[in-house]
A and B are shown apart, each in its own frame.
Chain A
């Protein structure tokens, strides 16, 4: 890999204005493939989900999956697009073994959905990203390159192909050029993909797992010298497989292109590959070697002409969209912008919502998910949602604290027990004996002992130094192994010492 000169981000931004474009591919979560009945599930043994249609054996004919058409229209509607009243599939002809047909069924000049937008929020600023088109196509097979030193296609001796993925419905969402992002370009690119991912989840059309490739992102970046209005040549970076990588890839391209342009060089219109390990991009296929896909209307599939009534019924059945929902929840929870943003970034909103639905106060639900549980997830290197605890269980812990059965310290131990698989919150309390000492007699005895053991501190309190009571409360908590109610202990100690606040 060649080492490239980069320009400091700040300097690049001073001299140039970035223009972004995003192409996102989403694999639909249908049960069967786009044009045949093979299972569309991820992860099967090689070539176990293939049939004459998706292998393009002679005499086979594709038939479109109605659910995939429906999902694409719903995506288009959620992105505020117009839905075509009549459109066709098209053949994209190319010769590459990831498709057994020597073409991919896609859409060309008649996409199903056009001219929409998605509003995304970055640092409290709303940016409207315009959507040019949303179209439906089929995914390709998966090639493994054998015999090269690096497992890459360059230098490989031959390749082997698994067609399980070939024919899975794939939706492509293309933005119009995004201008005016200024120095927030990397964050806006990331926020766009994050918002799109959340939208897909809300629609229930895809599991949108970037790491498994069910949401894939290509990032176009070009730079325009400040004070001019002519767009520069753009590059298209592929293999950007996480939200963080989207941000890094944009930043890297700005720094790389800035250095080339400042040096009087020119940007080559090309495909570049993002490398997760270095955060750098390297050149791939050059677009100047003209691509010629010879698109033509797919003769094996009849046109799509969605019934307007059907489209309207899909529109009225759309779920509440993520940004609207976040606004509603913020109001219901009385949360600050900052709280909402941190919950959003931690993917905690669904969890907090479910915990509140199970009876917890919003502030308590947020406190546990964003505090102790976020810390545990972070330690385990996993997502919050992957923790072995349910919102209902967290709500139960909140209830225990609220009714005084456990204090915060014990609650943390309850959570620990649940996460360790010791059972539900009540079981953990029972097994570990975590109930607070609510028996006043028992608490009173502990306090008497602590006062006796800490005569000096007790005298200070008697003498009016109320602050010294902290040491005694600490002693009670220690003696009760954390099970005492600290507030109640404080009251009792002060009463016993004849001091009132």
Chain B
């Protein structure tokens, strides 16, 4: 049994606003499956006494003081943007025709 189904990949693609063809879906489903199976090997070595964890280090409460630091200039901030209008990031239409 595969770790991720083709339908799940299609669902993820839709959430990510990626238009994948049927061929691509087959292709990525197989690749993702292999990746998940490989990563799942970790649980084979995790013994009962190892609790699931989200962080590698047992540290907590890492904060910064509420102090203002210099920001980028708008020119710097927008320098990597594919498109700019009125000092703002210009993005394609958000809602498709169906919305």
Chain A positions within 8 Å of B, measured between CB atoms, are: 30-32, 36-39, 45-52, 55, 57, 63-69, 86, 88, 93-97, 100, 143-146, 153-154, 156-163, 292, 294, 296-297, 299, 301-307
Query: Do A163 and B94 have beta carbons less than 8 Å apart?
Result: no
A144 interface neighbour in B57, B62, B73, B88, Cβ under 8 Å: B88
Query: Do B63 and A65 have beta carbons less than 8 Å apart?
Result: yes
Query: Do B85 and A146 have beta carbons less than 8 Å apart?
Result: yes
A282 vs chain B, min Cβ distance (A) = 14
Cα–Cα, bound, A299→B66 (Å) = 22
Q: CB-CB < 8 A to A49: which residues of B?
A: 71
Query: Do B69 and A51 have beta carbons less than 8 Å apart?
Result: yes
Query: Do B61 and A160 have beta carbons less than 8 Å apart?
Result: no
**Given A32-B67, A46-B88, A154-B99, are A51 and B72 neighbors across the interface (CB < 8 Å)?**
yes
Q: Closest A-chain residue to B17, C-beta based?
A: A95
Query: Do B74 and A48 have beta carbons less than 8 Å apart?
Result: yes
A50 vs chain B, min Cβ distance (A) = 5
A38 interface neighbour in B68, B73, B80, Cβ under 8 Å: B68
Query: Do A55 and B68 have beta carbons less than 8 Å apart?
Result: no
Q: Does B11 make an interface contact (CB < 8 A)?
A: yes
Q: CB-CB < 8 A to B94: which residues of A?
A: 96-97, 143, 145, 153, 156, 159
A283 vs chain B, min Cβ distance (A) = 12
Q: CB-CB < 8 A to B57: which residues of A?
A: 302
Cα–Cα, bound, A153→B6 (Å) = 32
Query: Do B99 and A64 have beta carbons less than 8 Å apart?
Result: no
Q: Closest B-chain residue to A100, C-beta based?
A: B89
B61 interface neighbour in A93, A163, A297, A305, Cβ under 8 Å: A305
For residues 35 through 61 of chain B, which have their beta carbon under 8 Å from a beta carbon of chain A?
54-55, 57, 59-61
Q: CB-CB < 8 A to B91: which residues of A?
A: 97, 143, 158-161
Q: CB-CB < 8 A to B65: which residues of A?
A: 66-67
Q: CB-CB < 8 A to B72: which residues of A?
A: 50-52, 55
Cα–Cα, bound, A57→B73 (Å) = 15
Cα–Cα, bound, A52→B77 (Å) = 8
A to B CB contacts below 8 Å, 30 in the list: A31-B66, A31-B67, A32-B68, A37-B68, A37-B71, A38-B71, A46-B87, A47-B77, A47-B87, A47-B88, A48-B71, A48-B73, A50-B77, A66-B64, A69-B63, A95-B15, A144-B88, A153-B94, A160-B86, A160-B88, A160-B90, A162-B88, A162-B89, A163-B89, A292-B11, A292-B15, A294-B15, A297-B55, A303-B55, A305-B61
Looking at chain A's contact residues, the main secondary structure is loop
A92 vs chain B, min Cβ distance (A) = 12
Q: Closest A-chain residue to B53, C-beta based?
A: A297
Q: CB-CB < 8 A to A31: which residues of B?
A: 66-68
Q: Does B1 make an interface contact (CB < 8 A)?
A: no
Query: Do B66 and A30 have beta carbons less than 8 Å apart?
Result: yes
Q: Which 10 A-B pairs have the closest CB atoms?
A: A37-B69, A67-B66, A297-B54, A66-B63, A160-B88, A305-B60, A46-B87, A97-B91, A63-B64, A47-B74
Cα–Cα, bound, A302→B60 (Å) = 5
Cα–Cα, bound, A199→B78 (Å) = 39
Q: CB-CB < 8 A to A161: which residues of B?
A: 88-91
Cα–Cα, bound, A294→B8 (Å) = 13
**Given A49-B71, A299-B54, are A156 and B66 neighbors across the interface (CB < 8 Å)?**
no
Cα–Cα, bound, A51→B68 (Å) = 12
Query: Do B61 and A159 have beta carbons less than 8 Å apart?
Result: no
Q: CB-CB < 8 A to A97: which residues of B?
A: 89, 91, 94
Q: CB-CB < 8 A to A86: which residues of B?
A: 60
Q: CB-CB < 8 A to B90: which residues of A?
A: 158-161
A65 interface neighbour in B11, B66, B92, Cβ under 8 Å: B66
Cα–Cα, bound, A287→B29 (Å) = 28
A385 vs chain B, min Cβ distance (A) = 27
Q: CB-CB < 8 A to A50: which residues of B?
A: 71-72, 77
Q: Closest B-chain residue to A57, C-beta based?
A: B80
A396 vs chain B, min Cβ distance (A) = 38
Residue among B88, B92, B99 with the highest chain A CB neighbour number at 10 A: B88
Q: Does B95 make an interface contact (CB < 8 A)?
A: yes
Q: CB-CB < 8 A to A304: which residues of B?
A: 60-61
Cα–Cα, bound, A153→B95 (Å) = 7
Cα–Cα, bound, A368→B91 (Å) = 54
Q: Closest A-chain residue to B99, C-beta based?
A: A154
A299 interface neighbour in B55, B62, B68, B93, Cβ under 8 Å: B55
Q: Does B16 make an interface contact (CB < 8 A)?
A: yes
Q: CB-CB < 8 A to A66: which residues of B?
A: 63-66
Q: CB-CB < 8 A to A96: which residues of B?
A: 94
Cα–Cα, bound, A160→B17 (Å) = 19
Cα–Cα, bound, A66→B63 (Å) = 5
Cα–Cα, bound, A485→B11 (Å) = 83
Q: Mark B4-41, 1 if CB is under 8 A from A, else 0.
A: 00000001000111000000000000000000000000
Query: Do B88 and A37 have beta carbons less than 8 Å apart?
Result: no
Q: CB-CB < 8 A to A145: which residues of B?
A: 94
Q: Closest A-chain residue to B91, C-beta based?
A: A97
Q: CB-CB < 8 A to A302: which residues of B?
A: 55, 57, 59-62
Q: CB-CB < 8 A to A146: which residues of B?
A: 85
Q: CB-CB < 8 A to B87: which residues of A?
A: 45-47, 162
B23 vs chain A, min Cβ distance (A) = 23
